[in-house]
Chain A
Amino acid sequence: MIDGVIALYIFMLAAFTGYEVISRVPVILHTPLMSGSNFVHGIVLVGAMVALATADSTLARVIGSIGVFLAAGNAVGGYVVTERMLRMFVSAGKKQERRP
């Protein structure tokens, strides 16, 4: 297990990072960014896969499979909707350049 105090340091630094990264975001990107951060916690997928791979009973395998199913939905769905939303901002920017 990651040593207790080291773990707390990781926790603290990550919390500050999250706060800093988002604190200067324009309002127009709040929804895409919420969607983007929703995608990022889809990393729970790797944990769910490890939990399933180390399952030692049928019950654990069932719950683990549900976990992987849900986590994959979070990761893939989160990515698809975020990318779709953000692509619109790009195309809006390009249209804007084309306007005289």
Chain B
Amino acid sequence: MSGATMSAATVIQLSYLIAAALFILGLKRMSSPVTAVSGVRWAGLGMLLATIVTIVFMGATPLDLGLVLGAALVGGGLAWVSGKRVAMTDMPQMIALYNGMGGGAAAAIAAVELYRGETGNATHLTIALIGGFIGSVSFSGSLIAFGKLQGLITKSVRFGGQKLVNLAILVATLAVGATIVAQSQAAAPAVTGFFVLALLLGIAMTLPIGGADMPVVISLYNALTGLAVGFEGFVLDNAAMIIAGTVVGAAGTLLTQLMAKAMNRSLGNVLFANFGETGAATGGLTGTQKPIEASDAGVMLAFSQKVIVVPGYGMAVAQAQHKVWELCQLLIDRGVQLRFAIHPVAGRMPGHMNVLLAEAGVPYELIADLDEVNAEFETADVALIIGANDVVNPDARNNRQSPIYGMPILNADKAKNVIVIKRGQGQGFSGIDNALFVLDQTRMLYGDAQSAANQLIHAVKAAG
């Protein structure tokens, strides 16, 4: 090996070392609100460094260099534009989309390595196959998740024996993979079959999962992409990929568990129980929903001492966070003691509501999580529910038959009065009847969250 190539390899390795350190420090800084922005910039610096050093020193032919730059510019350019334009409320599906792209890239690396058809050693082949498998599942699964959240796929495909079919696809994929390893020779048709089956599995696994479970699924696929990147890092001898991929794999797994726990469900339950949109097992509710006019609701709010606001996905859909904060500022100026109560899984991702409220400019100290705020509902004059549903359903505490029984909820039903802003009388996202809506102290304010908040602002102002 000549001195020149030695130094190029060394430069690349050193840049990867620095990048890996910056990723870890960046993630660490992202875990506190004060340093969070600098965290992502540190990680971005690491990414930029590793990318530029790789382009300069990897020794590609002009043709290949052109392909690399062209593909990177097109992919990066499209992502830049879409990422800048997307509304805050649509963030979850964009994360799903970009995550799927990462999984697809890991699978593509595996494919390039496997189609080479070299008789590699069994370990090398196995690792490439595992990474390719996980990456493919994450790719097609994330795209389905994106399609569902974006409203491109509205039905959850379910049929009898679905789990058996999925299991059969999984077994077939593993069998093809095992054959490739056993022959220690990656024949092109076998490799193609392997990837087609893995992609199919990602689609088949994700299609039956209901919209309410998508956050957990996206988080899971995020962890899986990390693992796939880590495995392909081993294949390519790339320490930056191994470290970054594994760190994300571990962090993502933990995050997925936290999310599943907040919904009182196990991961297996999310993936295989096909909940989310079924919920048919609830007995009919006794009692009716009682409507209220915005003017009356405004008066009720204006003359309260203590109000707790519970935002949910409905607020996100209606982009109502600014109007809601305007309303709350009016109430605060009138001397109302006001807090926001955030359920861990309100919206479509943990922290989704916090992001939206931060966008509107709500100070942190007004935002409380489940444990902090639950005791306070009993002393609240009004609990104002804005487009939230399952996270305030008392059936989770009281009704053993309910599919969400056991899920920790915000005890909005303990408040003296409950005002629910809701688009219509129907069931929510998960299709489960909500016992809160028919309680004696509950009044329904029908309409989309944006216009309802607007009407309430006028009503509060009119209350003098």
Contacts and interface: CB of A to CB of B under 8 A. Distances in A.
B74 A69 contact: yes
Contact of B101 (A2, A33, A70): A70
Interface stretch (B222-230, B281-289, B416-424): B222-230
Interface string A12-41: 001111110111111111111111111111
A88 interface: yes
A21 B247 contact: yes
B171 to A, nearest CB: 26
A93 interface: yes
Interface of A is mostly: helix
B312 interface: no
Nearest 10 CB-CB pairings of A with B:
A67-B108, A18-B250, A80-B83, A77-B79, A72-B75, A74-B102, A71-B105, A14-B246, A53-B60, A18-B247
Given A63-B111, A72-B75, A80-B83, A88 B355 contact: yes
Given A29-B33, A81-B98, 20 more contacts: A15-B247, A17-B250, A18-B250, A26-B32, A28-B364, A34-B255, A36-B26, A40-B23, A40-B47, A41-B225, A43-B229, A50-B238, A51-B108, A55-B112, A60-B115, A69-B71, A70-B104, A77-B94, A78-B102, A81-B95
Interface of B: 16, 19, 23-24, 26-28, 30-34, 36-37, 39-41, 43-44, 47, 50-51, 54-55, 58-61, 64-65, 67-68, 70-80, 82-84, 86, 88, 91-92, 94-95, 97-99, 101-102, 104-109, 111-113, 115-116, 123-124, 139, 218-219, 222, 225-226, 229-230, 232-234, 236-252, 254-255, 258-259, 342, 344, 349-352, 354-355, 357-359, 361-365, 367, 369
A53 to B, nearest CB: 4
B58 A96 contact: no
